[in-house]
């Protein structure tokens, strides 16, 4: 049965949970499809994650491969296709615990970077799994800075081959997924040399393992990079190349080609490469980050109404921990952040689709803004979400620290998102570069994209709020965010200019401003997230109950951001100390309001128990029973330890000297 402490939370929902779920999914029909996919996956024992927290890295890898192979059969059996409406829900249903993700990147990179001939040759082989692909870009010594890659591909005009080498240990490919133990082929990024001249980094298809017996090909050294904080299911690998020869046709040549005589030809726009990165950064927000954040909120909030600890009022029964202001202040802002990021994700998807439509018309004008957006939001969303998951974990006390809570693995996995696909600080600085450019242009009266016109409109005004209720006006707080972001951009631009004018070289000046530039970029993205949340809430006018609670969450997200960053609003007096006390009062008031709907708000995310895989977060709230039952399945209980016979018995029986 349902734990009564959890059941009672559901009886007082101020809105329809089912309707909110449909809103989040983008319509009731999509909810239906998503649930059908989840059910089909979860009913199949091959996809079970039941013992995941007990498995070694080797066991996790084997399970992930088993699932990936089985998925091919399952899709055939269910009639799901890569283009069908079900496809996007499969990864969520598997909780990402599956192999061959880099195989998909291999396919995508050939589709984007390969010629029609190359596509015709390789894509069918990959799609039918006549080979398993990987994507070998990152090296032991180089990650984000691709120009620094040290692997070489030298064109041999006599044999019409490229000779690939990793000339030193730091040049070794390191981290590529699916490469450590599975892949037969990979796309290797290497510095192209033709007739002694270096043409920069290019992609080459290289076979690394035999298709017959999976043994390593001549000149190839490869293996697994060993234990990581998470991603045990993925065989992140290393790869050394010693005089490995591939035919001229194996350089992906949609945009660049080496002709038989050694002539290097560049054709088409390279800007499209940005677009691939942009796509990946935006897609990971939903697949890897948002889902983890929403799961963590679900687990921590459900647990916080089941856990009772200490007394709020003398003589009463112990209180649910979610009734403590400090617990509300930990969890509810994370919940609001989850909704804010859900809506910004929808916004980014829309932006991406429109951008893609333009690109297909050969119009690349939106690319710089799209690149700046995807960089900054990847950084903002991964950073805030990682922090949010950690808060959820800690807010569950000791039990949150048990792997059985599900929270540690959510945390250790989401943490990686701050690092991969562009390190966050570097990404913020890319956004900052765009902002400074736009600020300069706007100040000079030149046109800039609509999202940044506000930068030029900075005035020394003051926040007009007179009481705490005024801070529940979206106009009031949106204006405050806009002001703060514009001030940070303009003051950093001014510092940069001052340094340069005082004789500091441009690159040194830039470096001396980077801490503040990153702050400015973050403030810009935070402002847009608030603005988008406000606009989303406005559009919900036909659903009064949902609009009301979404308005509360929007207010909470906005005021939490001010409460947690008071300095940037107080700095120039835009918000006064007295006004900040009003912000604090409204913010704390909101916690008590949203607390009443906290459980319905996480129920609306509609995660199944199997998907949460958490002893603390299940729908029925039977927390203690489940912790106890799951613990008993642990290998620490099911396997006898030799420690007693070997060490404890001789110690206790005073026979240590015989050891």
Per the annotation, does 177 bind a ligand?
Answer: yes
C-alpha dihedral (203, 205, 209, 213), degrees to nearest 10: 160
Give the total residue count for the chain.
659
Phi, psi of 487 (to 5 degrees): -65, -45
Secondary element (H or E) of residue 156:
strand 152-156
**CB contact set of 462 (below 8 Å; sequence gap of 6+):** 573, 574, 576
The catalytic residues are: 421
Task: Please count the other Cβ atoms lying within 10 Å of the Cβ belonging to residue 398.
Answer: 7
What is the nearest approach in angstroms of a copy of itself to the Cβ of residue 555?
A: 17
* 111/622 with CB nearer a copy of itself: 622
Relative to beta strand 135-136, strand 185-194 is parallel
- Cα 296 to chain centroid, rounded: 14
What is the nearest approach in angstroms of a copy of itself to the Cβ of residue 140?
A: 5
Please return the burial class of 627, using the count of CB atoms within 10 Å of its CB with bins 0-12, 13-18 and 19+.
Answer: middle
Separation of alpha carbons 439 and 511, rounded Å:
19
What is the nearest approach in angstroms of a copy of itself to the Cβ of residue 585?
A: 9
Please return the burial class of 268, using the count of CB atoms within 10 Å of its CB with bins 0-12, 13-18 and 19+.
Answer: exposed
What is the nearest approach in angstroms of a copy of itself to the Cβ of residue 146?
A: 10
* 163/591 with CB nearer a copy of itself: 591
Separation of alpha carbons 406 and 409, rounded Å:
6
Task: Please count the other Cβ atoms lying within 10 Å of the Cβ belonging to residue 635.
Answer: 11
Of 5, 9, 13, which is closest to residue 549 (Cα–Cα)? 13
End-to-end Cα, the chain, rounded Å: 53
Separation of alpha carbons 290 and 345, rounded Å:
9
The alpha carbon dihedral of 381, 382, 388, 389 has a sign of positive
Separation of alpha carbons 601 and 598, rounded Å:
5
What is the nearest approach in angstroms of a copy of itself to the Cβ of residue 340?
A: 20
Q: 3-class SS at 198?
A: strand
Separation of alpha carbons 15 and 5, rounded Å:
19
* 600/617 with CB nearer a copy of itself: 617
* 282/615 with CB nearer a copy of itself: 615
Per the annotation, does 400 bind a ligand?
Answer: no
Residue recorded with tokens 């000779």: 163
What is the nearest approach in angstroms of a copy of itself to the Cβ of residue 4?
A: 14
* 254/413 with CB nearer a copy of itself: 413
What is the nearest approach in angstroms of a copy of itself to the Cβ of residue 293?
A: 17
Separation of alpha carbons 404 and 402, rounded Å:
5
Six token digits for residue 182 = 């599975």
* 254/560 with CB nearer a copy of itself: 560
Residues in the annotated binding site: 138, 177
């Amino acid at each position: 049965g349902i734990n009564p402490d959890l059941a009672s939370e559901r009886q007082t929902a101020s809105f329809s949970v089912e309707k909110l779920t449909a809103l989040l999914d983008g319509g009731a029909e999509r909810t239906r499809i998503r649930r059908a996919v989840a059910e089909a996956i979860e009913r199949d024992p091959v996809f079970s994650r039941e013992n995941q927290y007990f498995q070694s890295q080797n066991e996790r890898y084997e399970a992930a491969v088993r699932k990936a192979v089985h998925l091919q059969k399952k899709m055939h059996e269910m009639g799901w296709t890569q283009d069908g409406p079900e496809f996007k829900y499969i990864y969520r249903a598997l909780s990402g615990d599956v192999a061959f993700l880099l195989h998909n990147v291999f396919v995508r990179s050939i589709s984007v970077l390969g010629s029609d001939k190359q596509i015709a040759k390789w894509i069918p082989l990959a799609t039918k799994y006549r080979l398993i692909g990987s994507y070998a870009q990152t090296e032991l010594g180089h990650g984000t800075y691709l120009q620094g890659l040290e692997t070489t591909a030298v064109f041999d005009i006599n044999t019409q081959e490229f000779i690939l080498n990793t000339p030193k240990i730091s040049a070794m490919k390191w981290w590529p997924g699916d490469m450590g133990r599975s892949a037969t082929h990979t796309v290797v990024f290497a510095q192209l040399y033709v007739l002694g001249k270096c043409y920069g980094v290019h992609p080459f298809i290289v076979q690394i393992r035999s298709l017959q017996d999976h043994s390593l090909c001549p000149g190839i050294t490869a293996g697994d990079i060993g234990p990581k904080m998470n991603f045990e299911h993925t065989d992140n690998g290393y790869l050394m190349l010693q005089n490995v020869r591939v035919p001229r046709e194996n350089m992906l040549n949609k945009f660049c080609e080496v002709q038989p005589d050694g002539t290097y030809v560049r054709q088409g726009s390279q800007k499209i490469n940005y677009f691939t990165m942009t796509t990946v950064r935006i897609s990971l927000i939903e697949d890897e980050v948002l889902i983890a954040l929403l799961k963590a909120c679900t687990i921590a909030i459900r647990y916080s109404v089941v856990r009772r600890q200490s007394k709020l009022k003398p003589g009463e029964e112990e209180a649910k921990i979610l009734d403590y202001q400090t617990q509300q202040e930990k969890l509810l802002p994370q919940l609001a952040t989850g909704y804010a990021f859900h809506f910004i994700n929808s916004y980014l998807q829309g932006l991406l689709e429109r951008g893609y439509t333009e690109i297909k018309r050969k119009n690349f004008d939106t690319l710089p803004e799209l690149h700046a957006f995807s960089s900054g939001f990847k950084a903002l969303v991964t950073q805030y979400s990682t922090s949010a998951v950690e808060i959820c974990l800690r807010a569950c006390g000791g039990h949150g620290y048990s792997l059985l809570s599900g929270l540690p693995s959510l945390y250790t996995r989401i943490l990686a998102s701050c690092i991969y696909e562009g390190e966050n600080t570097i990404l913020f600085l890319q956004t900052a570069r765009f902002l400074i450019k736009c600020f300069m242009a706007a100040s000079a009266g030149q046109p800039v994209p609509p999202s940044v016109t506000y930068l030029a409109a900075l005035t020394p005004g003051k926040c007009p709020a007179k009481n705490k209720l005024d801070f529940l006006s979206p106009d009031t707080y949106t204006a405050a965010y806009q002001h703060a972001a514009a001030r940070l951009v303009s003051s950093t631009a001014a510092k940069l200019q001052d340094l340069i004018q005082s004789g500091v070289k441009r690159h040194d000046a830039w470096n001396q401003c980077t801490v503040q530039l990153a702050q400015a970029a973050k403030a810009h993205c935070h402002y847009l997230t608030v603005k988008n949340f406000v606009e989303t809430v406005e559009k919900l006018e036909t659903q009064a109950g949902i609009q009301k609670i979404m308005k509360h969450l929007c207010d909470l997200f906005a005021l939490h951001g001010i409460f947690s960053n008071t300095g940037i609003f107080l700095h120039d007096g835009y918000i006064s100390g007295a006004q900040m006390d009003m912000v604090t009062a409204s913010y704390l008031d909101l916690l008590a309001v949203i607390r009443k709907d906290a459980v319905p708000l996480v129920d609306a995310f509609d995660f199944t128990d199997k998907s949460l895989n958490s002893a603390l977060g299940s729908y029925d709230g039977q927390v203690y029973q489940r912790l106890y039952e799951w613990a008993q399945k642990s290998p620490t209980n099911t396997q006898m330890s030799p420690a007693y016979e070997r060490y404890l018995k001789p110690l206790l029986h005073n026979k240590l000297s015989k050891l």
